[in-house]
Structure 1
Amino acid sequence: MSRTLRATSRAVPSDLLPESLRPQPGHIRTIAHRGDSSSAPENTIAAFDAAVAAGSDLIEIDVRIAADGVPVIIHDGSALRTTGMAADVALTSSESLGAADAGSWFGPGFAGARVPTLTEVAEWGAAHPDVGWLVEFKGSWTAAQMDGSVATIRRHGLTGRTILQGFETETVAAARDVAPELPRALLVYRPEHLDGLMERLQELGAAGCNPIGQLPIEMPGLALRLREAGYSVYPWTLDEPDEWGAAGVAGVDGVITNRPGPFRNWLALRWTGAQELAS
């Protein structure tokens, strides 16, 4: 198939989302990338606290499996950038990762911040019922590998406000097989990934497609066609007003950003006002 996207006749995929996370005409959700990572060290509880303070609708996090099989919240395959510890996450225990300083790299006021486990984040999430979760599984996961993470999400009552996502088709398929009740989104980052995209999304039973931010901006019809087919669209990672405006014009449902506070202010002062004038 060419890069022309074809809508399908299936039921509206975004109906798979919890009602609180379904697309709303004229509304763009604020999704804090790794928490409010402009105000606190990424993927830490401090960043999640800051994301809530900034008024974020959802928090995006990254999950990897430590050497002891425990899911931990860290973006890179190496712990070096955020902890100073030259260690492969997959070869390091969750206890060792949790004992590392994951905050000093960002600023001295965050010294001692930890790499949290998914269980710790889920416990924090249970105490913050108004925030949704966009949980990215880094790399390729099997259903067996994903089972423990899904059990943690279920155990802490987060199923009604969580979307699972990944770049790898097999990872999203594993999420479908392990947790059919949890909505899924496929991440895409290259134009060639658009070939056969609608068929892939349908096969995965996905509710959304979350492209790198340049795609819906450079290809204005992308978000529109995805939304016409019923998929939610959350591009990443957009941090500047001109990017936010272009994404809004393209018709996205949410923006994944490192700067949720400024984005919320922009929505209130620029986008909402412009929409009201246009109507």
Structure 2
Amino acid sequence: MATVTFSADLGGDGKTYTDDADPDTGLDGVGYIERFVPALAGSVAMAAYAKSRALDAKAFAEDCQSLRNATKTDRQAAASSAGASSGSAQAAENSRRAAGVYAQLAQAASSGQRQGVEIIAHRGFRRASIENTLLALTSCIASGADSIEFDVQVTSDGVNIIYHDDSLNSLTDGSGDIKETASSTVFAAEYTQAVGTAYAGIGIPSFDELIPYLQQTQARFYPEIKGYRSANDIDAMVSSVIDAELSTLCCWQSFNHDDLVRVRQLDPACEVGFLISGASLATLQSHADRASQYLPSSLLIRRSTIASNPSIVRYARDRGVDVGVWTLYTASEREQMQQLGVKRLMCDLPIGHGDA
């Protein structure tokens, strides 16, 4: 028997329809006459709801892009002594506008907070949006995420930006390795995925641009340490979180576990996440033993590696170390990990929420 429910959360009327002759829900027999038109109406209502949310996301993206452009102007004004005073006044106005935009986003995000299983939006649900952009990172909570994951690295002039790859060439219309490229060039680049779409012009944000949203929503976040010039750059990344008073919401993650040791020395309040790809059970256990020395901490492990070594979940937790998984794409993958006891689920798509 096939069943469909027009969820009220998605704009439907909350009713369930079946393909049998059930006197209350069935579309077979007499039920076809009584329920076919309401079922179509439910489909239309949910489509209208989806369109409305898409327009909201577009509006948020436009607001964020406007603020990003204004921030770029402020940087230029601050660098010029002749325009310093006017730049300060404009910066104050931008801060006021930013507060309004982020307050709206925070209200939308609050409805997405849930207990139990933690859905972590990998790069802001990278397969549902343009990864690591303000559009993705400020809309994923309202789309079903509990937490936000993104990548942080440093430009040649020491600016923390949110971007995954080593080079601009792979994802944008720009060129050059990030840590060898000035921030002005990085901020001028446009994501090629956005070219020719309603989101044309969307580029790479700075970490500082996301922080007000994190403060407003109090959403948990997982920044991954990517490229940097020297270990001192890690200090600057961590300091930005400490200064924003967001340490207890932050889980710094890295494949270079020595980076996490440095993070722990700088900030005892944050969590550190040991990223792991392929590994034997003995190696996983060794990682868990090391992570237990830097609590609060977690192992963030590739899905196939957990599936091959399910006992690592209990081993790590017995030592006070939690376990998360990356990256999930389907409901069946999610179900598999939950059955193994993994509750931190890093996903590329909003694949639904279930009970713990």
Query: What SS does structure 1 have at the residue aligned with 2:336?
Result: helix
Please, which of 296, 300, 307 is the counterpart of residue 217 of structure 1? 307
Higher share of residues assigned helix:
2
CA contact (8 A) 1:235 1:256 kept: yes
Alignment of 1:156-171 (within 5 A): 156-171=244-259
Identity %, equivalent residues = 25
CA distance in 2, matches of 1:89, 1:173: 24
Which aligned runs of 4 or more in structure 1 are off by greater than 3 angstroms?
103-107, 139-143, 203-206
Find out whether 1:181 has 2:282 as its counterpart. no
Deviates most, 240-249 or 217-226: 217-226
Q: CA deviation at 1:117?
A: 0.8
Counterpart in the other structure of 2:220:
132
CA distance in 2, matches of 1:128, 1:163: 16
Query: What SS does structure 2 have at the residue aligned with 1:251?
Result: coil
Alignment of 1:203-242 (within 5 A): 203-242=293-332
Larger Rg: 2
Counterpart in the other structure of 1:88:
177
Q: 1:35 to 1:239 in 2, by over 3 A?
A: same
Unaligned runs of 5+ in 1: 1-25
Deviates most, 207-216 or 190-199: 190-199
**CA RMSD, aligned part only?**
2.1
Deviations 1:188-221 (A, max 9, x none): 1111442622332134445111101111122221
- Bigger relative contact order, structure 1 or 2 (CA pairs below 8 A, ≥6 apart): 1
Q: CA deviation at 1:103?
A: 5.7
CA distance in 2, matches of 1:106, 1:56: 26
Report the AA paired with residue 227 of structure 1. R
CA distance in 2, matches of 1:146, 1:28: 30
Counterpart in the other structure of 2:164:
75
Q: 1:200 to 1:170 in 2, by over 3 A?
A: same
CA contact (8 A) 1:224 1:250 kept: no
Q: 1:225 to 1:142 in 2, by over 3 A?
A: farther
Please, which of 281, 284, 290 is the counterpart of residue 194 of structure 1? 284
Deviations 1:36-80 (A, max 9, x none): 222211000000122022131110010111111111110100112
Find out whether 1:99 has 2:188 as its counterpart. yes
Unaligned runs of 5+ in 2: 1-114
CA distance in 2, matches of 1:154, 1:200: 24
CA contact (8 A) 1:83 1:101 kept: yes
Q: CA deviation at 1:256?
A: 0.3
Deviates most, 216-225 or 181-190: 216-225
